[in-house]
Amino acid sequence: MNKIEHIGIAVKSLESSNALFSKLFGKPHYKIEAVESEGVNTSFFQIGPNKIELLEATNADSPIAKFIEKKGEGIHHIAFDVDDIEAEVSRLKEEGFVVLNESPKLGADNKKVVFLHPKSTNGVLIELCEEIKP
């Protein structure tokens, strides 16, 4: 793993949360993107070398809607940048980590993503991200 790619925060309203975080960071979000396969709209803020991703559910069955219903708004996941997501998934499975999606799926911000089950990572949902190269 190279670095923290972003921290994902589950929010009820992207509109009000964008306003709140814009005030907090002193700058606007740089991108809003829908990820239909996950049932979310996302918004990204660049803070120095780090990114914050806000996630708003677009339907009641989305993982974000279920997370907010159970735990409320807050940190949802920590994402790490990797060079070769398939190799990293293979390595982590050999180490005993539980992978939620065996093959990478298309995520936000031009990334291939895989999630690790929180039960195998001390209760933290971990996302692995690989930049999709042209």
pLDDT per residue as tens digits for the range 68-85: 999 999 999 999 999 999
pLDDT per residue as tens digits for the range 11-55: 999 999 999 999 999 999 999 999 998 999 999 999 999 999 999
Q: CA-CA distance, 6 to 2, in Å (whole number)? A: 12
Question: Could you tell me the two tokens for 21?
Answer: 């975080």
DSSP state of 98: P
Whether the per-residue pLDDT at 134 is higher than 90: the answer is no
Counting residues of the chain whose pLDDT is more than 70, the rounded percentage is 100
Tell me what pLDDT residue 82 has. Answer: 97
pTM score, two decimals?
0.93
Task: Give the residue ranges of DSSP H helices in 2-117.
Answer: 14-25, 63-71, 85-94
